[in-house]
A and B are shown apart, each in its own frame.
Chain A
Amino acid sequence: MSSMTFGRYTFRETFIHRLDARNKIFLMIIFMVGIFFQFNLWSTALLLSGFYVILLIVFMTIARINFLSLFKSLGGMWIFILLLMAIYIFIPNNNYYLPTAFTIGNVDVKWDAICQSAYIVMRLVLMLALTMILTSTTKPMDMTYAFEWYMRPLKPIHFPVNEISMTLSIALRFIPTLLDETDRIMKAQASRGIDFNHGGVFKRFGAIIALIIPLFVSALERSEELANAMIVRGYDPKAKRSKYRLLKFSYRDIFAFLLIVGLFGLIIYLSVIDTKLNPLDLVEIIFKVKGF
């Protein structure tokens, strides 16, 4: 259970760690949109992708994230990715007129297909890396506070922002506790003869029931005790409450904001002039990539 280390928050004091969570969420979204921009020229697209990759490597280095863990976390996804590429490359789709890269057997592998699939894979990996950067550098609690901040405009329409945010933070706080409890219950039931690993469908189903019901019952009891504790300590979701933790913007946030938004602006500009300008003739000629 504790081997779920993908994207888990690790305490460090890097530039990115110190950015405000609200800022990070916003910038991540902007970056992601940028990744998904469409371009007419493969040259522009691939070059930009390369640029993104470099940027991301820079970010991950700043945030002291282990590259290995990114690849590990992709895990089963690699198969999916390879499958996707294979589909793109090998399934014929009326592109016989496009330049061929090489031939395997009697199947023509087209440059176009290779570029397409590479592009898709790259975007996938970029997305994952970005998400990972966010979750590894941001405390879950801070993300809750950020969401709460973003939900504020919903308060006037009586959307239960405070309650949801409180529920979220308590849920987060209890994740390790609940994981431990799951472990304990599994061990207790295993000691009574349940086998979680072997057996047919029905047996395993019975095994899961023996795990889920106690968990639920315990969770319900917990909630009741927690609620009592909260009441006794004066909690009233409707009343005005101050906050111990406040997210604060700093000069770092302004810098990061300008950087990413500036980049985003550049991307928009490029996508607009993309059809008119062709600064990458060289690339085109060498690789005979589609374009004009």
Chain B
Amino acid sequence: MRNMSKLEIKNLTFSYDNKINVIDDISFKVEKGQFVSIIGHNGSGKSTLAKLIVGLLDKNNGQIFFDNEEITKKNMVRLQSKTALVFQNPDNQFIGATVEDDIAFGLENINFPHEKMQEEIERFAKEVGMFEYLNKEPSNLSGGQKQRVAIAGALILHPEILILDEATSMLDPKGKATVRRVIDRLHQEKKDLTIIAITHDIDEAMLSDEVLVLSRGKLIKKGSPKIVLRDEETLRSLRLDMPFVYRLEKGLKSLGIKAKAETVDQLVEDIWASK
């Protein structure tokens, strides 16, 4: 029986100027309900990949499959409407005059019946914790709040694949934390939702089920964050650091302390136990 994957990329290639391949023969699969993170240095093609998946850019070569159905010119609109993309800049994707207007934007686009809008909007605003802010204007909102509104606006169209393109990189620590909490909750509660998070934040990548590592347009590593993010050599080639807990873990190893922990508390226990 053919394995049914949510998203499959086969030999995807793309170039902006027909000289350098920004995406160079990439292939991978993402299962339904997975939370995948894509990491890579600046210019590795991460954002371009996101745009190719949702159809903002046209591939030069290769195939993209949603639920084993290949995307073609004919079914492109139907299939790509299963995806949603949240961008990096909180202001430049906030279209409505207020929070509720912005969340409504997606519904308006699909000609959703007016009578049912209020209820849907309130529901999704609650999902991301922005219910009390429905009538607030974007100029009075923080970055984290605006990004949560963007997520609500994306979710309201019931996407099957939610892509986040460096959605937290312009936020302050508080904003980052609130957005990450929302994503984490979504992943726990919506088992059918496939989430792809593009990030350069290694601590964020730790939260995902699987990590894809991009370098110069190529997919160079794929696997559980527990393995991939302990691979110092690969990370160094991307000029990325290991997550703190793994760095400390490595340092402890050099002292002869065996620690294999994912959290600060576990590490502390391991250190203490080595007495």
Chain B residues with CB under 8 Å of A241's CB are 108-109, 111
Which residues of A from 241 to 268 have beta carbons under 8 Å from B? 241-246
Listed residue (B104, B109, B153) with the most chain A CB atoms within 10 angstroms of its CB: B109
Q: Which of B24-32, B88-96, B214-222 contacts A (4 or more CB under 8 A)?
A: B88-96
Task: Report whether A233 and B157 are in contact in the complex, using a CB–CB cutoff of 8 Å.
Answer: yes
The reply to whether the CB of A170 lies closer than 8 angstroms to some CB of chain B is yes
Partner of A169 from B94, B97, B137, B138 at Cβ < 8 Å: B97
A240-B93 contact, Cβ under 8 Å, with A176-B137, A234-B157: no
Task: Determine the chain A residues whose CB is within 8 A of the CB of B101 once the complex forms.
Answer: 141, 244-245
Known: A173-B97, A234-B109. 11 other contacts (CB 8 A): A172-B97, A229-B87, A230-B105, A232-B56, A233-B154, A234-B110, A234-B157, A235-B109, A242-B117, A244-B114, A246-B114
- Ranked nearest first, the 3 interchain pairs of A and B with the lowest CB-CB distance are A244-B104, A229-B93, A225-B92
Judge whether A226 is part of the interface by a CB distance below 8 angstroms: yes
**Most B CB within 10 A of own CB, among A225, A232, A236:** A232
Q: Cβ of B95 and Cβ of A230 under 8 Å apart?
A: yes
B114 touches A242 (CB 8 A): yes
Q: From residue 209 to 234 of chain A, which have CB atoms closer than 8 A to chain B?
A: 221-222, 225-226, 228-234
Q: What are 18 A-B contacts with C-beta separation under 8 Å?
A: A173-B95, A173-B96, A173-B137, A176-B139, A177-B138, A222-B91, A225-B89, A225-B92, A230-B95, A234-B109, A241-B108, A242-B113, A242-B114, A243-B108, A244-B104, A244-B108, A244-B117, A245-B101
B106 engages A233 (CB within 8 Å): yes
Residues of B contacting A173 in the complex (Cβ-Cβ under 8 angstroms): 94-97, 137-138
A281 within 8 A of B: no
Closest A residue to B84 using CB positions: A232
Docked complex: B192-251 residues within 8 A CB-CB of A: none
Residues of A within 8 A of B108 (CB): 241-244
Query: Quick check: is A282 within 8 A (CB to CB) of the other chain?
Result: no
Residues 21-64 of chain A, each 1 if its beta carbon lies under 8 Å from chain B, else 0: 00000000000000000000000000000000000000000000
Chain B residue with the shortest CB-CB distance to A141? B97
A225-B89, A228-B87 known; A242+B112 contact, CB < 8 A:
yes
User: Complex: how many Å from CA A139 to CA B96?
Assistant: 14
What is B's interface to A at a CB cutoff of 8 Å? 51, 54, 56, 81, 84-85, 87, 89, 91-97, 100-101, 104-114, 117, 121, 137-139, 153-154, 157
Is A231 touching B110 in the complex (CB atoms < 8 A)? no
Kindly report which residue of chain A lies nearest to residue B56, judged by CB atoms. Answer: A228
Among B54, B89, B117, B137, contact of A232 (Cβ-Cβ < 8 Å): B54
Tell which of A172, A234, A246 has the most Cβ of chain B within 10 Å: A234
**Given the known A-B contacts A172-B97, A225-B92, A245-B101, are A177 and B111 also in contact in the complex, defined by CB atoms under 8 Å?**
no
Q: A225 and B93: CB pair below 8 A?
A: yes
Closest to A144 in B: B97
In the complex, what's the smallest C-beta–C-beta distance from A243 to chain B, in angstroms?
A: 6
- Complex: how many Å from CA A222 to CA B87? 12
Type the 1/0 row for A85-116, where 1 means its CB is closer than 8 Å to any CB of B: 00000000000000000000000000000000
A180 at interface, CB cutoff 8 A: yes
What is the distance, in angstroms, from B113's C-beta to the closest C-beta of chain A?
7
A68 sits at the interface (CB 8 A): no
Q: How far does the Cβ of B156 sit from chain A's closest Cβ, in whole Å?
A: 10
With contacts A173-B138, A176-B139 known, is A242 near B107, CB below 8 A?
yes
- Knowing A231-B56, A233-B154, A233-B157, say if A180 contacts B106 (CB, 8 Å): no
Contact of B95 with A226 in the complex, beta carbons under 8 Å: yes
- The answer to whether B139 and A180 have CB atoms under 8 Å apart is yes
CB of A239 within 8 Å of the partner chain: yes
Q: A228-B56, A232-B54, A233-B157 are in contact. Are A239 and B138 (CB under 8 A)?
A: no
Chain B residues, Cβ within 8 Å of A141: 97, 101
In the complex, the answer to whether B114 meets A233 with C-beta atoms within 8 Å is no
Tell me the bound Cα distance from A229 to B150 in angstroms.
Answer: 10
Provide the bound-state CA to CA distance between A232 and B75, in Å. Answer: 16
Residues A226 and B114 in contact, CB atoms below 8 Å apart: no
Q: In the docked arrangement, what's the CA distance between A234 and B112, Å? A: 12
Per the bound structure, the CA–CA distance linking A245 and B56 in Å amounts to 29
A180: chain B residues at CB < 8 Å are 139
